[in-house]
A = this chain, B = another copy of it.
Amino acid sequence: MLDLAILGLLFEQEMHGYEIRRRLRDELGLFANISFGSLYPALSKLERAGAVAVTSEGPSGAGSMIPSTGSLSGERAGLRARRAAAPLAASKRSRKVYRITDEGRIRFEQLLAGEEVDDARSFGLRLAFARHLPPTARLALLERRRAQLTRRLATDLARASGERLDIYTRSLVEHSTESTEHDIAWLDRLIDAERQGSSPVRSEPSSDPRHETPQHQTQ
């Protein structure tokens, strides 16, 4: 679902459609080049459903209020218009800034915790917003994905060993098998880290307090 991606981005801060596409491409990397033919209908549908609301003006803070948004989107606006000639006025083009509603937040958490973790995209999207999940659901997501990949690995191995294939198809199947094994090993590392990080309840809080300094920390 594309709805999850939209709501997840709007969960952090309000923005317009083009910006949603840009972030999906540049930051997440998922939905490599999401089409506007998908994005705008999805936004309209979410608006009709009451999950998002449009605040028809106010691109990038515009200096009226909010010092926080100024710092957040500042690095983005900086490289876009680094001339600093007239940063206050900005552009008054036709742009519809979307904002998530309370209903949309509920919908977001429903989608994020949903059971349908079929494809790689859907899983990657959920993982990108996994910080909004409680640790239990986060672990469940990882293990669900791992089980899926294990099933796929079994069929891949059966196909690689049993059939008689030409060299190109065989190489394709073998490479697919290796990739799946690689994915499973990655998931195992994530699962381990998740188990390690959640159960030890900071036994020595004074010794080494969090030298990782995670940037986004929502809870």
- A interface vs B, CB < 8 Å? 26-29, 124, 127-128, 130-131, 155-156, 159, 163-169, 171-173, 175-176, 178-179, 182-183, 186, 190, 212, 214-217
Contacts and interface: CB of A to CB of B under 8 A. Distances in A.
Given A128-B168, A130-B168, A167-B212, 16 more contacts: A26-B159, A27-B163, A29-B172, A29-B173, A127-B168, A127-B171, A128-B172, A131-B167, A164-B216, A165-B215, A166-B215, A166-B217, A171-B186, A175-B183, A179-B182, A179-B183
Nearest to A213: B164
| A interface majority secondary structure | helix
| Shortest Cβ-Cβ A-B pairs, 4 listed | A130-B168, A164-B215, A166-B216, A128-B169
A215 B164 CA distance: 7
A137 to B, nearest CB: 13
Contacts of A155: 29
A156 B29 contact: yes
Contact of A124 (B26, B156, B172): B172
Nearest to A128: B169
